[in-house]
Structure 1
Amino acid sequence: MTDARATALEDLRSNLTGTLVLPGEPEYDTARSPWNLSVDQRPAAVATPADVADVQAILAAATAAGLGVTTQPNGHGATDDLEGVVLIRPSAFDEITVDVEGRTLRVGAGVNWGPALQALDGTGLIGLAGSNPEVNVVGLALNGGHSMFSRRHGLTARSIVAVDLVEASGTVRRVDDTDDAELIWALRGGGGHFGVVTAIELELFPADAIFGGSLVFPSEAAVPVISAAFALAREVPELGLDIGMMKFPDLPVMPPHLRGRVVASIGLVHLGDEATGRAYADRLLAVAEPIANSLTTFTIGQLAAVAAEPTDPMPTADFGASIGSDDDAFAAELVEAFLAGAERGLMRCGLRAMGGATAEELGSELSAVGAIRAPLLLSAGVLLVSPDIDPVAALQPLHDLADRHGVLGGVPSMLGAGTLADVYEPAVVDRLAAVKQRVDPGGLIRSNRAIRPA
């Protein structure tokens, strides 16, 4: 770092109410660490602003020093080393306000879905949350966001009502459809390219009852069970379905019935009564006997417990793709590809069923993430627990599968490495780039995913 930049950052630190951590300081490695511990990002500084005035000071100092600025609440989706960039952690922006009558949720940029869902408990309302409580509300929404409620109510980005934004110039704005229709269009799925978001307002939806959970089947039943789940997704377009396979490590900490096994899993969420939800599940249970069955009624505050996803940062190699096939032949190919990858270290592969509201044109013109034509969104990960694991080899069978069945169009939050051009049509990419040029012509604000390849 040049002396001029070092001086500028020291001056910034002296003017902040919040904190600034620099390379070489004891707190730096912890402060810079993203959710994916395999990403070795090394920003020029890590700032934790206390308020909007601090954000403005960070933007002004970075501009003067020739640095970039990016925001990572938890570091999900981190893909860059962030050289020459000030990394903002917005943890101090922790507001949670539920307007039951207006059916909106307002949260600060530091709020994760776990506390937000707890605040919704008892209101009779739901937000289009991710399944992991440690996922940030703002980060999920800005990057498209898929929820197990999305087949009923659409993608999370399309539920954005308004965004509190500090532009690259330092101007503070509340952006909505009336204030700046083109900018709010870009914020609904275009990621963090357009300023520093300090708060967001999301539409909420009524839900008197929720039923769901997961069914786990032995690998021998994987093909017929997954085929049945695909059929169920096609026939019940409002039903939330997460279809996948997992290989559990052969470790003593694993439950005996799962230790060392390869399994197929079906996550199911029905917004409605238990009897109807169980009737849907019975179509899967008629195919094979499950190893585990966690189906139950629950409240919105219990969503994270029902999904039971890992909540600790870990080193992984991830892959995502939009899949254009959902027939029986594809189910067989998927299982074959996973088993081949599992022999090389692949641990999980999931397919979120799309269709329903995610495929509707209604309202899609209001957001960068539009109607999704692909019936399935694939995501997979390799846990890098040993230097002997080659993530490229482990993921290759799924890359080959996506080469055969992949289609353009998807959700950035489900994407692994890549750019927005990997999921959006060229016209959408061009429009996003035009909005970026208007609000940040100097390219001060960076995002985890570039709009298009450099």
Structure 2
Amino acid sequence: MTASHHPAPLERLRTELRGTLLLPGDAGYDAARTPWNLSIEQRPAAVAEPADVDDVRAIVRAAREAGLGVTTQPNGHGASDDLDGVVLVRPRRLDELHVDVEARVLRVGAGVNWGRALAALEGTGLIGLAGSNPEVNVVGLAIAGGQSMFSRRYGLTARSIIAVELVDAAGDVRRVTDADDGELLWALRGGGGLFGVITAIELSLHLGDALYGGGLVFPAESATAVLSAAFALAHDEPELGLDIGMMRFPDLPVMPPHLRGRIVATVGLVHVGDETTGQVFADRLLAVAEPIANSLTPFSIGQLAAVAAEPVDPMPTADFGAAIGPLDETFAGDFVEAFLRGADRGLTRCGIRAMGGAIAEELGAELSAIGAVHAPGLLSSGALLLDPSVDAEAALSPLRELAAKYPAEGMVPSFLGSQTSLADAYGPAVLERLATVKRRVDPDGLIRSNRPLG
């Protein structure tokens, strides 16, 4: 595409920014527009990487003048196919990071990922309600609800938001707190990126000077017994972080020999406390079956990513998420059966994050769109699409059937799959209240979210 085909406001913007603006046809545009999920094709009108807040203001105002929308994807998580007529903002250079140990507050710019934030907490005795992947963006996780392995003890990440700084649809800078606009902050606590281009966020931190956890991997023939025991443990210990599921490892030479080509049951465990107590919890699982692998260990907050050991590279995937429950022995058997059927068709992984504990706490729930979530578990699954013969819908369909058989109320938007909206997480009353806030702060719908209202 030649420059003459680009809107004049964007051409002017390119010369004004301290950061960068890439338009279709520019070298680097294709790499810049690529999302985390490589199976998604998005072609925005431009990709902007602002250097500072003034750049963000200029981007918003130029998009308005050009009749375009604006959406933000720090790393490309939560992307959808439809970015026609939208300026995509990558706020990676907004990299401010400050830990106030005395006040127990984490302040980060919109480009900061959890891996860097947790490294800054090393030695403080404090923890943030982080996701399990270090490449997940702090702001992105928080405003989408944010279920952490610490959430059963301390609550969802969205409810830890203290303040949000953003550029609104008029191009003005705002600092949003409960004191100056509680309704907007309510919406930002779980309503996603509908309300402005966020430049910085402040989150409450929590005590956690001793941590214990890691992963246990069991053979598939022990799956039902192990998962049943893990679900019972989740019920009995409502503050213990648990991720319970199954995986199919590819039959590739790069895989460890003891895992190559195998289907396994997995339990991720995170305990805020000492090793002795954490090991007592783990022993309930180890009494059921002999693990193939055991990475349980004391760790510090900066090592959380190594404990979770999740992939950190973009890949093409098809995904599905749902609220689900009750988590019991009957469900465990049906879950294993559904996974095995899906694995025969290309399903790669399925985990169930145990809920309950502080996640379901009603005190203060009225201050956030996410509120108190009462689902027993959240299912998250994916099929790798490296092999073009994989039928994604066929691979995921057994899990869709499972979710329909075991429905539960309440969902965290960050656990939704691609091509979903907030209507897949929230009921009509919350959606209407979010829409009311949206109409007030952005009546023309300039700011787009990767997960729209409906």
TM over 0.5: yes
Give the drift of 1:276: 0.4
Aligned with residue 429 of structure 1, among 423, 428, 431: 431
Where do 4+ consecutive residues of structure 1 move more than 2 Å?
1-6
Match of 1:448 in 2: 450
Mapped contact 1:408–1:424 kept (Cα < 8 A) = no
1:22-171 matched pairs, under 5 angstroms: 22-171=23-172
Mapped contact 1:160–1:200 kept (Cα < 8 A) = yes
> What is the letter of the counterpart of residue 38 of structure 2?
L
Instruction: Provide the C-alpha distance between the structure 1 equivalents of 2:206 and 2:8, rounded to a whole number of angstroms.
Output: 50
1:261-410 matched pairs, under 5 angstroms: 261-410=262-411
Instruction: Provide the C-alpha distance between the structure 2 equivalents of 1:81 and 1:387, rounded to a whole number of angstroms.
Output: 23
Instruction: Provide the C-alpha distance between the structure 2 equivalents of 1:87 and 1:208, rounded to a whole number of angstroms.
Output: 39
Corresponding residue SS for 1:450: coil
Give the drift of 1:423: 1.0
TM-score normalised to structure 2 length: 0.98
Give the drift of 1:408: 3.4
Mapped contact 1:70–1:86 kept (Cα < 8 A) = yes
Corresponding residue SS for 1:75: coil
Mapped contact 2:318–2:384 kept (Cα < 8 A) = yes
Give the drift of 1:6: 2.5
Corresponding residue SS for 2:7: helix
Instruction: Provide the C-alpha distance between the structure 1 equivalents of 2:306 and 2:54, rounded to a whole number of angstroms.
Output: 37
> What is the letter of the counterpart of residue 439 of structure 2?
Q
Corresponding residue SS for 1:244: strand
Instruction: Provide the C-alpha distance between the structure 2 equivalents of 1:399 and 1:426, rounded to a whole number of angstroms.
Output: 23
Instruction: Provide the C-alpha distance between the structure 2 equivalents of 1:442 and 1:208, rounded to a whole number of angstroms.
Output: 47
Give the drift of 1:431: 0.3
Corresponding residue SS for 1:180: helix
2:194 maps to 1:193: yes
> What is the letter of the counterpart of residue 138 of structure 1?
V
**TM-align CA RMSD:** 1.0
Instruction: Provide the C-alpha distance between the structure 2 equivalents of 1:374 and 1:388, rounded to a whole number of angstroms.
Output: 35
Deviates more, 1:268-277 or 1:402-411: 402-411
Identity %: 71
Corresponding residue SS for 2:319: strand
Q: 1:180-205 CA deviation, whole Å, 9 max, x = no partner?
A: 00000000000000000000000000
TM-score normalised to structure 1 length: 0.98
> What is the letter of the counterpart of residue 199 of structure 1?
A
Q: 1:85-118 CA deviation, whole Å, 9 max, x = no partner?
A: 0000001100110000000000000000001000
Corresponding residue SS for 2:180: coil
Mapped contact 2:144–2:189 kept (Cα < 8 A) = yes
Mapped contact 1:210–1:270 kept (Cα < 8 A) = yes
Instruction: Provide the C-alpha distance between the structure 2 equivalents of 1:192 and 1:267, rounded to a whole number of angstroms.
Output: 30
How many pairs align?
452
Q: 1:41-73 CA deviation, whole Å, 9 max, x = no partner?
A: 000000011111111111111111110000000
> What is the letter of the counterpart of residue 335 of structure 1?
V
Mapped contact 1:4–1:65 kept (Cα < 8 A) = no
Mapped contact 1:241–1:353 kept (Cα < 8 A) = yes
Instruction: Provide the C-alpha distance between the structure 1 equivalents of 2:363 and 2:325, rounded to a whole number of angstroms.
Output: 21
Instruction: Provide the C-alpha distance between the structure 1 equivalents of 2:79 and 2:414, rounded to a whole number of angstroms.
Output: 11
Instruction: Provide the C-alpha distance between the structure 2 equivalents of 1:3 and 1:373, rounded to a whole number of angstroms.
Output: 54
Instruction: Provide the C-alpha distance between the structure 2 equivalents of 1:76 and 1:266, rounded to a whole number of angstroms.
Output: 24
Instruction: Provide the C-alpha distance between the structure 1 equivalents of 2:203 and 2:67, rounded to a whole number of angstroms.
Output: 34
> What is the letter of the counterpart of residue 136 of structure 1?
N
Corresponding residue SS for 1:179: helix
Instruction: Provide the C-alpha distance between the structure 2 equivalents of 1:18 and 1:302, rounded to a whole number of angstroms.
Output: 32
Match of 1:177 in 2: 178
Mapped contact 1:152–1:238 kept (Cα < 8 A) = yes
Gaps of 5+ in 2: none
Mapped contact 1:420–1:449 kept (Cα < 8 A) = yes
Give the drift of 1:3: 5.4
Mapped contact 2:376–2:408 kept (Cα < 8 A) = no
Give the drift of 1:155: 0.2
Give the drift of 1:80: 2.7
Mapped contact 1:348–1:381 kept (Cα < 8 A) = yes
> What is the letter of the counterpart of residue 358 of structure 2?
A
Gaps of 5+ in 1: none
> What is the letter of the counterpart of residue 226 of structure 2?
V
Instruction: Provide the C-alpha distance between the structure 2 equivalents of 1:208 and 1:112, rounded to a whole number of angstroms.
Output: 22
Give the drift of 1:14: 1.0
Instruction: Provide the C-alpha distance between the structure 1 equivalents of 2:5 and 2:342, rounded to a whole number of angstroms.
Output: 49
Instruction: Provide the C-alpha distance between the structure 2 equivalents of 1:208 and 1:7, rounded to a whole number of angstroms.
Output: 54
